Structure 1
Amino acid sequence: MAHTHCIKKMLGIEDPNIYLDDMPVVFEENKQVKNIVVQGKLSYTPRCCKKCGITNDSHQDIIKNGTKLSTIKLTHINFQPVLLRLKKQRFLCKHCAQTFIAETKLVERHCFISNIIKRTIAMELREIQSMRLVAQHLSVSNSTVIRVLEKVAEPLEANHIYLPQHLSIDEFKSVKNVSGAMSFLFLDAQNHRLIDVVEDRRQNQLIDYFMRYPKESRYSVKTVTMDMYSPYLAVVKDCFPKAQIVIDRFHIVQHLNRALNSFRIRVMNEAKKKSETDYRKLKKQWKLLLKNEWELDVTDYRTHRLYEGLVTEKMMVDYLLHINPRLRQVYTLVNDLRFALQRHDFDQFKTILEESRKYVLPKKVRTTVQTLFKYQEGIRNACLYTLSNGAIEGVNNKIKNIKRSGFGYRNYSHLRARILISYRLTASQFEPKALHYKEEKRRQEEKEKAKAN
């Protein structure tokens, strides 16, 4: 009838062999949950026997032999679970005297959770929320969500064949294990597509991993954008000999800011014994010292609770630098390097580093300068290319939010699966054949076995 057809369309039941009753919808209360129950029947004429493989050419070799009642979870309407109470036709083969039950694409074999629910779970796992919350929303168990997570993530594994020309690599904190709880991920630096996630970021593990790729793919990599983590240098040299290293500009500026801030703290602690006012100014205005010198306001005069009269940002910074001459020296060095980096002028950047060798610098600042000397080639490439690790830092931020939503992860494979689903699962892969390719493969093997017999 027309109304049953509309109900099937609304519930996503696309199998033409499922027939709903004339009065299909009833309401039942189970465990203080009100369920919407839809009643129907599954029946068709089978082409062959599922047991012996004999074809049903005359439609008399396989006969109907009763039904089996099955309750299938479909979806939710107005926050109420919808159940399909389906009478599945049982068939009897006259040749082998075996019985089998009618099957439908609506649900997998020996399963009572519909593929609609499983596709919804896969879509929900793309978002930042805990797996327990997904289970509560869809009225399924946590184990069901985990099984769907593992099944959906399996086809998303990297093929270890193709590598893009421009790579972006970084690490993130995953779960506690022998590798120190740090894992490795890399993506295409141009289209920001996540390629794969590796459990261990240690040098020997990464070399073993990348050596799985063909030599042609590894040699086609032109640039690798990374931070200043020294083991990555050996990985790039061994695995991508034709690639140029590009140091992310954000991490260069971060190193300079940390050096300046560490010396500010040292000067602040020394000023605490001499002047309480200078101590408070150095402590409260740390952001002002880290601001680029050429971006300081020199025209807007305002009152400030730490200063008398009207002052500008430039006047406040000049006072802070007047407290300690070495602080002014470090401040000038850091700003000159940041200005050269912003203008992509590596020659000026290198000249400033060379001149810094002529005078004495604080220990941490000198260590930072030596680190920049070590990565000169990568910094030169950072001034030539516009590539950065901004996209991969965004991926890291989402990973942190996923971990935070679930109050941390103990199983690395589950965390990795959530990452792959979030960034590699597309809309076309929500189809039943993509989500349940193992079931389709099993059915194909059974057909080939039946033909062989």
Structure 2
Amino acid sequence: MDQFFKPNYHWLPRHIAFDDFKSGRFAPSGMSMILMNIENHRTIDIILSRRNYFLRYDRAARLAVRTVTVDLYTPYRHLIHELFPHAIIIADHFHVVAQAYRALNKIRVKAMNQAGNGSHQWRALKHFWKLILTPAGLLKYDNYWSRRNFGYTQLTDVEVIQRLLAFNDDLKQAYRYYQDFILAINHRSKDELNHLLAIKWTQLPQSLQKVQRTLRRHLKEIITSFKYGDYTNGPVEGTNNKIKVIKRTAYGFRNFFNFRARILLALPNSYFAINWKNKRTAHVQSQTRAV
């Protein structure tokens, strides 16, 4: 089957994205990689291991790459600078926002534990966890609902948030940081982002201190993503979810060759699937002419 698709090692798209996914025993590290053309969301290849793979491509092909969209995984940076010297790195928005998202949720859980299991504050913070993590622009300001956790008082989403944040100062600070960060990303505002990251990390709750340092370290990549707003790892993450379904329904594969072929055939926009379809069409036409 591999005869129908062999990567063209003399060419790479100008804008690529890649990410790891769990492949199990096939890869030495247990992780393989998805390589995608981020402009048209076409899967280029499923890679056993990123180690030495890109060296198969001509230097001219690697020099043609202009952007690489990835998450915040640090080892990627050295790999990209070495293999694609003309490319700039774009930090994926989803993974950037997830840094603050996870920190806020961790602080919420800590506030719950401090309040004590089964207490009023514990129950309220547990019940309204989705509300706390919702961007402020999506909260309801004028719709009232009876809230059991607050004595069946008629409250809007915003009023519930105000009561929840009054439980814990660290939670209030983390919530404001999270909302300001989302606004900066949505507005693609360099000034808003710089203003937020100018806060001394020692003034933030412990979970946010690590986030602040990480975001400062990748500041240039995040600002670059404002310019290339359409380039995200969303299509790559979607492909990763499809691979999980393939693994679950197949009940295992004997080797990586079959695993890779099955994935590429399942992706209608992959070069493998397109070439396979063209070959089958040509075969059918030749059989028809023969008859």
What's the TM-score once normalised by structure 2's chain length? Answer: 0.90
- 1:310 maps to which of 151, 154, 160: 154
Structure 1 distance, partners of 2:180, 2:14, is 33
1:241 is the counterpart of 2:241: no
List gaps (5 residues or longer) in structure 1.
1-151, 435-453
Structure 1 distance, partners of 2:49, 2:244, is 17
Q: Partner residue of 2:273?
A: 425
Q: Partner residue of 1:252?
A: 96
Helix, strand or coil: the match of 1:245?
strand
Listed one character per residue, the Cα deviations across residues 36-94 of structure 1 (whole Å, up to 9, x for unaligned) are xxxxxxxxxxxxxxxxxxxxxxxxxxxxxxxxxxxxxxxxxxxxxxxxxxxxxxxxxxx
Residue type of the alignment partner of 2:72:
M
Structure 2 distance, partners of 1:369, 1:154, is 49
Residue type of the alignment partner of 1:179:
P
Q: Partner residue of 2:11?
A: 162
Structure 2 distance, partners of 1:378, 1:185, is 21
Q: Partner residue of 1:289?
A: 132
Greater strand share, structure number: 1
Structure 1 distance, partners of 2:134, 2:187, is 17
Structure 2 distance, partners of 1:333, 1:378, is 20
Residue 198 of structure 1 and its aligned partner are, at CA, apart by 1.3
Structure 2 distance, partners of 1:237, 1:433, is 44
Residue type of the alignment partner of 1:161:
H
Structure 2 distance, partners of 1:355, 1:266, is 22
Structure 2 distance, partners of 1:383, 1:425, is 33
Listed one character per residue, the Cα deviations across residues 287-344 of structure 1 (whole Å, up to 9, x for unaligned) are 1000012321111011122122201101111111000112101110111011111100
| Structure number with higher relative contact order (C-alpha < 8 Å, ≥ 6 residues apart) | 2
1:173 is the counterpart of 2:22: yes
When residues 356 and 331 of structure 1 are mapped into structure 2, their CA distance, relative to the original with a 3 A threshold, is farther
Residue 283 of structure 1 and its aligned partner are, at CA, apart by 1.0
The structure with more radius of gyration: 1
Listed one character per residue, the Cα deviations across residues 252-277 of structure 1 (whole Å, up to 9, x for unaligned) are 1111100100111111100016x711
Matched residue pairs, number? 276
Q: Partner residue of 1:268?
A: 112
Identical aligned pairs, as a percentage? 33
Q: Partner residue of 2:167?
A: 323
Residue 251 of structure 1 and its aligned partner are, at CA, apart by 0.7
Structure 2 distance, partners of 1:211, 1:325, is 51
List gaps (5 residues or longer) in structure 2.
285-291
Listed one character per residue, the Cα deviations across residues 198-256 of structure 1 (whole Å, up to 9, x for unaligned) are 1124xxx1xx2212211211111110000011111011100101101001101111111
Helix, strand or coil: the match of 1:163?
coil
Structure 2 distance, partners of 1:270, 1:330, is 16
Q: Do 1:183 and 1:198's aligned partners in 2 also have CA atoms closer than 8 Å?
A: yes
Residue 365 of structure 1 and its aligned partner are, at CA, apart by 1.3
Higher mean displacement: 374-383 or 409-418 = 409-418
Q: Partner residue of 2:40?
A: 191
Residue 432 of structure 1 and its aligned partner are, at CA, apart by 6.8
Q: Partner residue of 1:451?
A: none
Helix, strand or coil: the match of 1:317?
helix
Residue 433 of structure 1 and its aligned partner are, at CA, apart by 5.0
Q: What is the RMSD of the two structures over their aligned residues, measured on CA atoms?
A: 1.7
